[in-house]
Amino acid sequence: MTEPQRKRLKCPEQKPRVVVGRGNPNARLMLIGEAPGAEEDARGLPFVGRSGQLLSELMKEAGLDEQRQLYICNVIKCRPPNNRKPTSKEIEISRPWLKQQIDLIDPALVLLSGATALQAVLGIRSGISKLRGQWQNHEGRDFMPVFHPSYLLRFRSREAGTPQDLTLQDLREARHRLHLLSES
């Protein structure tokens, strides 16, 4: 990424890495998270820290092949200072980059991981708990809000009705929807 592009993205002056995405660029399923954390900034890849490890575990348990069926990215491409939540202004600045990324990958289905992704893509500011697991059609594409894995790290149980169990259900629903799309 060029210096002018970095400046347009408003990356902090300490020059964190620009973390674009990982996975299959031809995937029919995309997952969008919030922003890179420390580990993601260090490695230059999204969802590779503790949250990413849990995400990979849940994907595998749900029967999704992360390398073949998924492309993963974040709303914000640079780590916010002090690992804070992205501001509304940062989300607004990053939105055109994210839209272009979605258009380039052109997934049939998109999982919105957490409230920041929900706000950035669908413009919805309400809590994710009310909308998680429900498909939302926006501009001809299906989006499903899901809990962010960093939230799930606080709830290690997978008993029925827990956040991890609900996320597994959501991921299985995404796998099922992908299967139906491949049959048509």
- For residue 89, the surrounding DSSP H or E stretch is helix 88-105
- CATH value at residue 130: 3.40.470.10
Residue 22 is predicted with a pLDDT of: 96
Dihedral of CA atoms 154, 135, 108, 67 in degrees, nearest 10, equals: 20
Distance of CA 123 to the CA centre of its chain: 15
**Which residue shows structure tokens 């959501």?**
170
Contact present, 148 and 164 (Cβ < 8 Å): no
How large a percentage of the chain has pLDDT more than 90?
Answer: 78
pLDDT tens per residue across span 1-43 = 455 554 555 565 555 678 999 999 999 999 999 999 999 999 9
Q: How many other C-beta atoms are found inside a 10 Å radius of the C-beta of residue 120? A: 25
Residue 13: what residue type?
E
Q: What's the predicted TM-score (pTM) here?
A: 0.92
Structure letter (DSSP) for residue 127: -
Q: What's the mean pLDDT when you consider all of the chain? A: 91
Task: Name residue 142's beta-bridge partners.
Answer: 109, 137
Residue 54 — φ and ψ, nearest 5°? -65, -40
Its domain, for residue 122, covers: 3-183
pLDDT at residue 70 is higher than 80? yes
| Number of structural domains found in the chain | 1
Q: What angle do helix axes 163-183 and 50-61 make, rounded to 10 degrees?
A: 60
DSSP 44: T
